[in-house]
Amino acid sequence: MSTCNKESALLRLELPAEFEDLSGLLQTDIRALVTALSDRAGERLLLTRRETRQLRQTLWNRLTQAVNDSVEPLSADRR
């Protein structure tokens, strides 16, 4: 029985060169937010492991995409 992992990939931060030194800090912050939010949701909503894993993945991808989209226009290449 095979499973489809089409959406199982986590997005990566894609920061312009001007912000690359913040990569580790931003990843740590995103990880902390994802953990806190998914843990709380899991406790309050009694989520299954699968639902919690999906929530973590969704949170990670959306937060990462928000950061990527926000800093991309700040690149020197775009100015």
**Does residue 78 fall inside a structural domain?**
no
Does residue 2 have a pLDDT over 70? no
**Does residue 15 fall inside a structural domain?**
no
CA 3 to chain centre: 22
The runs of H, that is alpha helices, within 10-48 are 23-45
Q: How many domains does the chain have?
A: 1
Nearest in space to 51 (alpha carbons), one of 62, 64, 63, 38: 38
> Residue 21's CB: how many other CB atoms inside 10 A?
9
**Does residue 46 fall inside a structural domain?**
yes
**Does residue 56 fall inside a structural domain?**
yes
pLDDT score recorded for residue 1: 46
> How far is the first Cα of the chain from the last one, in angstroms, to the nearest whole number?
51
Average pLDDT over residues 49-65: 97
**Does residue 47 fall inside a structural domain?**
yes
Q: Are 38 and 59 in contact (CB under 8 A)?
A: yes
**Does residue 40 fall inside a structural domain?**
yes
pLDDT score recorded for residue 20: 93
Task: Domain of residue 62: give its range.
Answer: 36-68
